[in-house]
Amino acid sequence: MAAFAHGFDPTSLREYDIRGIVDRTLHPRDAYAIGRTFGSMVARGGGRTVAVGYDGRLSSPGLEAALVEGAMASGIEVLRIGCGPTPMLSFASAMLKADGAVMVTGSHNPPDHNGFKMTMAGQPFFGPRIGELGALAARGDVVPEAVGGVRDVEIRPAYVARLARDWDGGARRLKIVWDNGNGAAGEVLAELVRHIPGEHTILNRAIDGRFPAHHPDPTIPRNLAQLIAAVRDGGADIGLAFDGDADRIGVVDDRGAILWSDQVMILLARDVLRALPGSTIIADVKASQVLFDEVARAGGQPLMWRSGHSPIKAMMTETGAPLAGEMSGHLFFADRWYGFDDALYAAVRLLGVVARMRTSLSVAREALPRMIATPELRFDCPDTRKFTVIEEVAARLAEEGADMATIDGVRVRNADGWWLLRASNTQAMLVARAESANHAGLERLKSALTEQLARSGVTAPDFSAESS
């Protein structure tokens, strides 16, 4: 056993995945060690199969090959689905009843980054389990070397067919612009649009791990500039964008205005609640209060929860919620779907909603209560200090009798609106956001947050930018 012992770069073992900079903090030998150790964990749990996929990054094929080699050395049968979006691997894992799944993906990170997202027995593999994997690898505590197997599985046709099956848009034909962003969804998307009525334009369809058009993160407005221009120039009804592995979605309306994830969630929640009245709808602590209020108004049970796709998935399982979402663009359907975040599936469901509307998407957006908010602000704070700062702020606010939630950092609500301060789970940073119905209220919220940071010796971020 000891001959295998492998130490990972300490920065690569994150809360939700393993991630690093290729050839600096992440190497093929790390991929082999992940396969060897994760495969051993699956085997010790009585499992025999692990599904593996990879995204379109230039480093992904090599990392995938090393990962497969390591898993096979643990006696595991590897089910290789090839290059595609992360949700396609999640679908494959469910359909093939795999005991574990590993996706090689850098998600929305820069081209020289990559990483590994994992599930085991259909459940998120995160937090302590990633720490356990690192500790087992460091000790060389793996099953005896064995000869596993490998099987190539062509899952894309079945995945596309299943996505298309839930199209429910009626007779209206939409004009749609898609921005694949040169991400891993390219081939799936090209097949999917053949099944959805309407006129389709696909931007940056080719899978290209250099991401020549723009950075693959649709939650950053500048990355949507090309999509917005195409929607406006072409008179489209809607524009949709994906991140590098298509588990995050970005949306713009017929006027080219961005719909933030919590606004998209309102439209989806109303639709789901018509069929499933009284259901729990989950959103993370960064979402607008408007979302929670609109869910309640539509007859649902709004539930605020921790940020992060793994905690959200776990809470969906616990509560039986049919829909959940995060401000980061992850949307999760358990209604008619499998509970994992899938931007392609979310797009199909959203297009159905828009196709059944009697008005344009921009009219629906403008009808929502209008709030003024800061963007999500991330600022440096040492790992050794960030959680302590949150504890200090929470303790002071508790003494003052503040109306606050502490499920993920501190979210404070008052007559002006709300402000949030939380510690990043993946970086040496604090995250802040504030929202109010008017500028004066937002300024007071910013001042309250700035004061709390100052009392803990932290310089407040630049609050000058606002979004509505």
Those residues whose C-beta lies under 8 Å from the C-beta of residue 414, and which sit 6 or more positions away, are 402, 403, 445
Q: Are strands 49-54 and 77-83 parallel, antiparallel or unpaired?
A: parallel
How many Å apart are CA 270 and CA 398, to the nearest integer? 35
Q: How far apart are the first and last CA of the chain?
A: 56
How many Å apart are CA 187 and CA 85, to the nearest integer? 10
Those residues whose C-beta lies under 8 Å from the C-beta of residue 323, and which sit 6 or more positions away, are 265, 268, 269, 272, 279, 281, 282, 331, 332, 333, 334, 335
Those residues whose C-beta lies under 8 Å from the C-beta of residue 88, and which sit 6 or more positions away, are 53, 81, 155, 156, 159, 188
107 part of the active site = yes
How many Å apart are CA 344 and CA 202, to the nearest integer? 13
What type of residue sits at position 140?
G
How many Å apart are CA 446 and CA 460, to the nearest integer? 9
Tokens 């990879």 found at = 54
CA atoms within 13 A on the CB side of 179: 30
- Nearest CA to 421 among 457, 382, 384, 461? 461
Name the token pair of 270. 């109303």
List, in sequence order, every residue forming a beta bridge with 378; answer none if it has no partner: 431
Tokens 């596993």 found at = 148
Catalytic residue among 12, 74, 107, 436: 107
How many Å apart are CA 444 and CA 416, to the nearest integer? 8
Q: Are strands 113-120 and 123-124 parallel, antiparallel or unpaired?
A: antiparallel
How many Å apart are CA 133 and CA 118, to the nearest integer? 11
In contact, 173 and 197? CB cutoff 8 Å: yes
Name the token pair of 59. 């480093």
- Nearest CA to 290 among 304, 310, 275? 304
- Which residues does the annotation mark as catalytic? 107
